[in-house]
């Protein structure tokens, strides 16, 4: 029997030991961008290209760059190449691409357009990278060893503008993600300058809205945008741009949301056409070429292109949502920040860069000054210097003898000893030491700069102004205010037409367009079934179906399938999931829930219920207590205005009354008021509208006051009175 070697482990300890290091590595070293706007994979790639001389030199094969990058980034070549592709001008994923490219790099807006292999494409750093690497050789940022300790690489790049906001960045880590939209470079620089001058500046005033390389129209909602700017979280909508070619009845879509692809849009449109939800589109084509994106929609001549596009915005990714999550690594910790916090952190980073650079310059200039001060001392007696060197027998003693002879230190003596013989003349030395005054002045200014954050911020402002002037470009994404955008509700997407509804005794419901009814008016019904009620309405109305169990079922008429007179229609027991023994006994269609429902009961009472009582804010499909259940109902009717009704009793008594005598109630199951008084245990058996009877003398049965007993039916009116409406 095998021994059981299982060891019990606490799940929390195991996760902390095995999973947490991985999770932290993904967050800190892979997926979340840092304050310089780059993830480690981007930074390693760009720095490799910088060291390869690709900022000023000619383009080189992408495969060469990928291979060199492996010295800093130990990933597979395709993973590195995919990173490179996204940074290129050819791919169109960034507002300001960092890599100038030649060859096919695919397109950000296309799902299926594949980029060429790295051996076919060529790259170099784009000119804007001058600003990413400015003064990197002057100790502006820290350097660390690469993975095998053979090279040094920067921890961050000393970007002279807030590139974190200028180029879009998306990353999914473990337990967190980052999604940063891009903003216009000029707007970002101006906003940063205003923020440096005044920390209470209104960011929205200067940073109008996000801007995407794919253009489109951003639907601007000030409240939502302020929330994004303040918290770093929120979302906004971007929609495609189109033009209409009237001559060819063709809609041309030429800019789409950044978050989607042309193929996804075409697939969605094709699906809508196939499922018959949109009938106006004749053909869909992808006409993207070297001039850029274009999706062409051939439409019927009678179609309103703007109305159709509004439908497509609602039903396809032609309008899409960008969800912001400004999660950025600051000093190794992920933080979700609003725009002001991001700018504040970036400014602190830039202040540190400039301080480090200033110290570097001070050290370099101080070293030079020190050498020149030594040189100045030998100017007093050049012959003495020559004599010391000539009369020193051992080479190793030249420097110590110079130190002794002129009271200078070793560094200065080394410098003097290295001067060429031809330069040991008065003119050369005077020219060199004339720099001393300038150097002293420059060092004083640099020390002054290093000690003053105010002056450092002025330098930052100057650099931002230069970047905006040099690399700024107009907005690509147009801003349209929400109030100028038609709100597309489901109503806009429903085709409206006139139709008739037929309810049969066996509970079949037919919805027949009037055009179809004219062509074939003959109804198909089951044996012993008959049409109990018919109403004329339209496709966008609501339908209320009242059952014999005091329940009303609500449907949108457009949800019911059209049918022909020659079909049986929808079986309501299945459609509404009716209970055993439950039947629909009346239907009413309404647009606005105006008017009243009239319910007449066997006990002689009549209730007049506001139709608004059946309107609900939520899409509830079933309302109980739709009418009173204390006495059997003998009549239901939907009226817009008050009408005259004729009540019949089991004793053949007749009463004509007006519904204006009955106060309306908002309680659906109100018992109503007594209209027909009972006599000798009589009951109310039916009610008709006044236009459904043809009494010789209607006034004989009329009453001004209710309740009333009514009058016996005259013989001359009996024939008419025998007509029954069964419920």
Give dist(CA 725, CA 686) in Å, integer.
7
Tell how strand 319-325 and strand 333-336 pair up: unpaired
Beta-carbon contacts of residue 146 (< 8 Å; ≥ 6 apart): 71, 72, 152, 153
576 by DSSP, 3-state: which? coil
Task: Please give the structure tokens belonging to residue 657.
Answer: 């009354």
| Contact status, residue 606 vs residue 672, Cβ threshold 8 Å | yes
120 is catalytic: yes
Beta carbons within 10 angstroms of residue 595's beta carbon: 17
Task: Please give the structure tokens belonging to residue 581.
Answer: 């023994």
Beta-carbon contacts of residue 432 (< 8 Å; ≥ 6 apart): 372, 375
User: 435-451 vs 426-433: helix axis angle to the nearest 10?
Assistant: 20
Cα atoms in the 13 Å half-sphere on the side-chain side of 405: 26
Give dist(CA 209, CA 205) in Å, integer.
10
- CA of 235: how far to CAs of 170, 179, 321, in Å? 14, 11, 6
User: 339-379 vs 435-451: helix axis angle to the nearest 10?
Assistant: 150
Please state the length of the chain. 727
| Contact status, residue 189 vs residue 472, Cβ threshold 8 Å | yes
Beta carbons within 10 angstroms of residue 701's beta carbon: 22
Cα atoms in the 13 Å half-sphere on the side-chain side of 666: 3
CB burial string 199-228: b at 16+ within 10 A, e below: eebebbebbbbbbbbbbbbbbbbeebbebb
Among 22, 120, 147, 700, the one annotated catalytic = 120
| Contact status, residue 95 vs residue 212, Cβ threshold 8 Å | yes
Query: Which DSSP category does 688 fall into?
Result: E
Task: Please give the structure tokens belonging to residue 723.
Answer: 């007509």
Listed residue (723, 662, 711, 660) closest to 687, CA to CA: 723
Give dist(CA 338, CA 180) in Å, integer.
11
Helices (H), 496-558: 514-519
Query: Which DSSP category does 71 fall into?
Result: T
**Sign of the CA dihedral running 219, 220, 224, 225:** positive
238 by DSSP, 3-state: which? strand
| Contact status, residue 474 vs residue 407, Cβ threshold 8 Å | no
Q: Which long-range CB contacts under 8 A does 193-196 form with residues at least 24 apart?
A: 193/461, 193/464, 193/465, 195/340, 195/343, 195/344, 195/347, 196/347, 196/457, 196/460, 196/461
Active site residues: 120
């Amino acid at each position: 029997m095998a021994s059981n070697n299982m060891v019990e482990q606490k799940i929390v300890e195991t996760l902390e030991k095995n999973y947490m290091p991985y999770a932290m590595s993904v967050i800190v070293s892979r997926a979340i961008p840092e304050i310089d706007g780059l993830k480690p994979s981007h930074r390693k790639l760009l720095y490799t290209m910088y060291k390869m001389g690709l900022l000023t030199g000619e383009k080189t094969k992408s495969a060469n760059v990928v291979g060199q990058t492996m010295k800093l980034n130990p990933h597979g070549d395709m993973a590195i190449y995919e990173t490179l592709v996204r940074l290129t001008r050819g791919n169109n994923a960034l507002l300001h691409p960092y890599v100038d490219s030649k060859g096919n790099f695919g397109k950000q807006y296309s799902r299926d357009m594949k980029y060429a292999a790295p051996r076919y494409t060529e790259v170099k750093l784009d000119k804007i990278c001058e600003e990413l690497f400015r003064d990197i050789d002057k100790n502006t940022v820290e350097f660390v060893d690469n993975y095998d300790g053979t090279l040094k690489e920067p921890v961050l790049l000393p970007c002279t503008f807030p590139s974190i906001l200028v180029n879009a960045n998306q990353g999914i880590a473990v337990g967190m993600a980052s999604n940063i939209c891009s903003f216009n470079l000029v707007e970002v620089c101006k906003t940063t300058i205003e923020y440096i001058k005044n920390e209470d500046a209104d960011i929205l005033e200067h940073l109008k809205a996000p801007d995407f390389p794919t253009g489109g129209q951003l639907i601007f909602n000030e409240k939502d945008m302020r929330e994004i700017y303040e918290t770093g979280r929120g979302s906004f909508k971007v929609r495609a741009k189109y033009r209409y070619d009237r001559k060819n009845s063709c809609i041309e879509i030429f800019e789409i949301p950044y978050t989607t692809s042309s193929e996804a849009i075409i697939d969605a449109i094709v699906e809508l056409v196939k499922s018959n939800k949109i009938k106006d589109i004749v053909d869909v084509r992808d006409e993207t070429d070297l001039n850029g994106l274009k999706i062409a929609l051939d439409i019927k001549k009678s179609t309103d292109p703007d109305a159709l596009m509004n439908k497509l915005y609602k039903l396809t990714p032609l309008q899409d949502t960008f969800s912001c999550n400004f999660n950025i690594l600051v000093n190794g910790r992920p933080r979700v920040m609003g725009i002001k916090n991001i700018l504040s952190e970036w400014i602190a980073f830039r202040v540190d860069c400039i301080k480090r650079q200033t110290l570097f310059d001070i050290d370099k200039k101080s070293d030079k000054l020190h050498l020149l001060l030594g040189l100045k001392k030998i100017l007093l007696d050049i012959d003495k210097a020559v004599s010391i060197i000539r009369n020193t027998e051992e080479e190793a003693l030249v420097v110590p003898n110079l130190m002794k002879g002129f009271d200078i230190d070793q560094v200065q003596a080394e410098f003097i000893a290295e001067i060429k013989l031809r330069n040991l003349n008065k003119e050369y030395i005077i020219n060199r030491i004339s720099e001393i005054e300038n150097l002293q002045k420059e060092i004083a200014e640099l020390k002054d700069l290093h000690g003053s954050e105010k002056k450092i911020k002025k330098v930052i402002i100057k650099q931002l102004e230069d970047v905006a002037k040099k690399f700024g470009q107009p907005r690509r994404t147009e801003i349209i205010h929400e109030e100028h955008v038609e709100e597309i509700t489901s109503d806009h997407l429903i085709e409206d037409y006139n139709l008739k509804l037929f309810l049969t005794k066996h509970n079949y419901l037919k919805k027949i367009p009037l055009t179809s009814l004219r062509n074939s008016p003959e109804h198909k019904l089951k044996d012993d079934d008959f049409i109990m009620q018919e109403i004329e309405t339209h496709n966008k109305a609501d339908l209320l179906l009242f059952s014999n169990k005091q329940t009303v079922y609500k449907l949108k008429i457009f949800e019911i399938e059209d049918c022909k007179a020659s079909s049986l229609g929808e079986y309501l027991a299945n459609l509404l999931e009716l209970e055993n023994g439950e039947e629909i006994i009346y239907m009413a269609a309404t647009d606005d829930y105006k008017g009243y429902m009239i319910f007449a009961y066997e006990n002689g009472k009549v209730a007049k219920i506001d139709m608004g009582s059946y309107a609900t804010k939520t899409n509830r499909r079933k309302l109980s207590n739709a009418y009173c259940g204390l006495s059997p109902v003998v009549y239901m009717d939907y009226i817009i205005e008050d009408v005259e009704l004729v009540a019949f009793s089991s004793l053949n008594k007749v009463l004509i009354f007006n519904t204006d005598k009955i106060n309306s109630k908002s309680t659906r199951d109100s018992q109503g008021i007594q209209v027909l008084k009972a006599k000798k245990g009589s009951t109310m058996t039916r009610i008709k509208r006044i236009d459904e009877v043809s009494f010789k003398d209607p006034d004989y049965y009329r009453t001004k006051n209710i309740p009333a007993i009514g009058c016996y039916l005259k013989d001359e009116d009996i024939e008419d009175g025998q007509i029954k409406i069964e419920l």
